[in-house]
Amino acid sequence: MRATFGRFPSGVIALCATDMRGDPIGMAVSAFVNVSLDPPLVGVFVQATSTTWPKLKERPRIGLSVLGAGQQASCRQLAAREVDRFANVSWESTDHGSVFLHGASAWFDCEIESETTTGDHQFVLLRILEHDFEAEQDPLVFYASSFHELSSLLRTN
């Protein structure tokens, strides 16, 4: 089933915030969906067994960074267990605690709208409060269990 699902290319998103001490916490997800323009909503699917999600969902705001071409190492690090996920990762935070990775192709500053159990994942609906993008930065693409980069010739503005 995983190999079949893997035939659908997706972007990779970093979900990050600062904890009570101001230290970054975060994770990578590849199941992301645009939900609505009005109101502005996006959704992510988080594994029900995640040990990071319970920490993130307690934060008032969560930053979503659409990882950019060249950020494969950052993605692997954010997905790893038992490591400092932010070692050598360039990031910044907002006054509200959202964390954004430098080099991303787009950013969404969000708050949780709702959370629903869906099979072995949690579907998290997020309300977008602010957003921005880098027009010259192509996204990182995950396809067939590996990372790929779009050719800038394919980019449409």
pLDDT at 151: 65
CA-nearest of 63, 83, 76 to 140 is 76
| Ramachandran angles phi, psi of 79, nearest 5° | -95, -10
Q: Rounded to whole angstroms, what are the CA distances from 129 to 38, 103, 109?
A: 12, 21, 6
105 SS3 class? coil
Flag the least confident range among 28-32, 34-38, 45-49, 150-154: 150-154
- Cβ contact 41:35 at 8 Å: yes
Answer whether residue 27 shows pLDDT above 90. yes
Q: What is the pTM of this model?
A: 0.91
Both structure tokens of 154: 């394919």
Rg of the chain in Å (alpha carbons): 15
Q: Which domains does the chain have, with CATH numbers?
A: 11-135 (2.30.110.10)
Question: What's the mean pLDDT in 90-110?
Answer: 97
